[in-house]
Amino acid sequence: MKSVIALGSNLGNRELNIDSAVAELAKIIEITHLSTNYETDPVGGPDQPKYLNAVLLAETQMDPHDLLIAMLEIENRLGRTRELHWGPRTIDLDLIICGDLVISSKVLELPHPRAHERRFVLEPWLEIDSDAQIPGHGLVATILQGMQEDL
């Protein structure tokens, strides 16, 4: 199943943190595409350093809940702490979509509920998948075009 994962880091060696997360993810899923890194301003939360963000496409047979658990374990291994909501972090891994699945559970919502609002997810995703779509929201290119028109 095609899955999209967003990566972000704004503490420590941001590039190394993203590279390490990609290496850990590659042990459990087949990564087919990886965007370049994008430096972005933080959204929400306290005053904090800029982020490096990237998006990867992967193929996996893992259940989305199991994939999420594995992603949380990777975050923990790479030093992620959860002291502040939307606070700075060594690594942040977000599961954006898994195929066309729509899931709403206590621990997982797919597609990611705010992905369509986040340029730092959409731009790197479009870089590696020109046909990218978010179920219920449409083409990523169209969503981004709407954001640019709002500037």
> Which residues carry out catalysis?
80, 89, 92, 94
* Partners of 138 in the β-ladder: 134
Token digits for 21? 């997360």
Core vs surface per residue 108-120: b (16+ CB within 10 A) or e:
bebbbeebbebeb
Alpha-carbon distance of 109 to 86, in angstroms, equals 18
The backbone torsions φ and ψ at residue 88, rounded to the nearest 5 degrees and listed phi first, read -65, 155
Question: Can you give the C-alpha Rg of the chain in angstroms?
Answer: 15
Token digits for 90? 């060594």
